[in-house]
Amino acid sequence: MATEVCLQPEFLKKKGYFSIKDWIETPGNVYTGVATGRFCQDPDDIAVLKWYDIQASKWKNPIAPNPDVRSSMLLYVKHLFRSDLIYDIDELRGKNLGCFCHEPRKVWSEPKCHNQVLVDLLNKCYHHIEEMIRKKKAEHVDEKLPDSFITLTFGDAAENNYGMKQIGKKLGPGQGFNLNDLLAMQKSMKTICVDTKIIDLTKFLEQNDDESIPVAEKAYVLVMKGAATRLLQRKIAPTVTQLDMFNEQTTRLKYDTRALMRGRVVNKHARWNLCFDDESSDANYEEGKGTIVAYKKVPLMQAVRDQFEEFFGPKAADLKVEANYYYDTTKCGIGWHGDSERVKVIAMRLGYVSMPIHFQWFYKRKPIGKRITIPLEPGDMYVMSEKAVGTDWKRQVIPTLRHATGCHKFLEMK
């Protein structure tokens, strides 16, 4: 058995808990919601309120709010099975499951929040879930869990597609991020409780005692777990998440699905694109111009970008933004390449699914060393050192780096 709990102040006070922090830290209680925060009374002085960061639960609901509650709950059930979380559900047995969604049901009714779905599954109310599915089939509605993600790339220059008009200007060599910059960013992000890791890509370069291969320049990637949500909550409200930013991108904006390639306007299937700058402008594909959206039209993204200089230093100020929308991860991606159009990269993942980024060293157009796979989840951010960006990836006489992401066909070595 399991019990559903709504973590509102009235409940906490009634049950004798000093604060939400006390409830979460009490054995037998499990928080099942998203990353958020609450002001809690200081045990030493109840007149003082202190901010308490609530870490996201693996049981959180990644599905965007939907007026059709039944559909949303079915999508959450699909999420449990597709992510294999369903196999861990026994660890919740006998626990009090808490979130901020809905008041507990006094009598059984269809679940109105994901927490209630978990309770029903634990209490073996499978027939209720089956009944929900039966009703949906009767309505002839085929729901599909969104299988897409967006990468926002912040850099000194951006473009909607290779060869089209760029915004910003590529800086000269040595003006990108270096290891000291990444270490400073790491230290800064730890002040707001973001887990970070710096990956030395050079360690994966096996030169196999071949003295003809020159020594490679050092290259690093800084990964910041859940940083997009943390920066967003810090600026906007403790209840917003990276999914709100993803929905801002996908519901407010129309991505470019065409581009000018080799002198012809063609449909884009690998991914869709947009760029962001101070002022908006419409696409003119025949002239090689893609759509540019003003920052003011995407206030959530702007709120995160406005904090870059504070947390990432002066090199991160006034970066242009390029968006790649991988609308279907079963067929979208980008193959092995370097970013020859820029020397700086701060990137952010938004959406519903995890998708790693892969790095590979090359020399004389041939891969050398081991492939580096960096897992990335929605809300993660990462920063590339200048060498990792691959701005020099077309050079053959030195080891260079390329990166790729997406479905299998984009990761093959040709």
Q: Which residues of 68-83 are buried (b: 16+ CB within 10 A; e: fewer)?
A: eebbbbbbbbebbeee
Closest CA to 171 of 346, 412, 367, 343: 343
Give the span between the Cα atoms of 176 and 174, in whole angstroms.
Answer: 6
pLDDT for 370 = 92
Kindly report the pTM of this predicted structure: 0.67
pLDDT band at residue 38 under the 50/70/90 scheme:
low
Q: Is 30 helix (H, G, I), strand (E, B) or coil?
A: strand
Reported as a single tens digit per residue, the pLDDT across 105-121 is: 665 567 778 878 887 77
Handedness of CA 366, 368, 374, 375 (dihedral sign): positive
Angle between helices 114-122 and 126-138 (to 10 degrees): 130
pLDDT for 1 = 65
pLDDT value at 134 more than 70: no
What residues does each domain of the chain span?
3-138, 149-410
Strand intervals (E) in 125-177: 149-155, 157-159, 166-168
Which H/E stretch holds residue 20?
helix 20-25
Please tell me the CATH code under which domain 149-410 is placed: 2.60.120
Reported as a single tens digit per residue, the pLDDT across 238-262 is: 778 898 899 999 988 999 998 888 7
Q: Are 77 and 117 in contact (CB under 8 A)?
A: yes
pLDDT value at 233 more than 50: yes
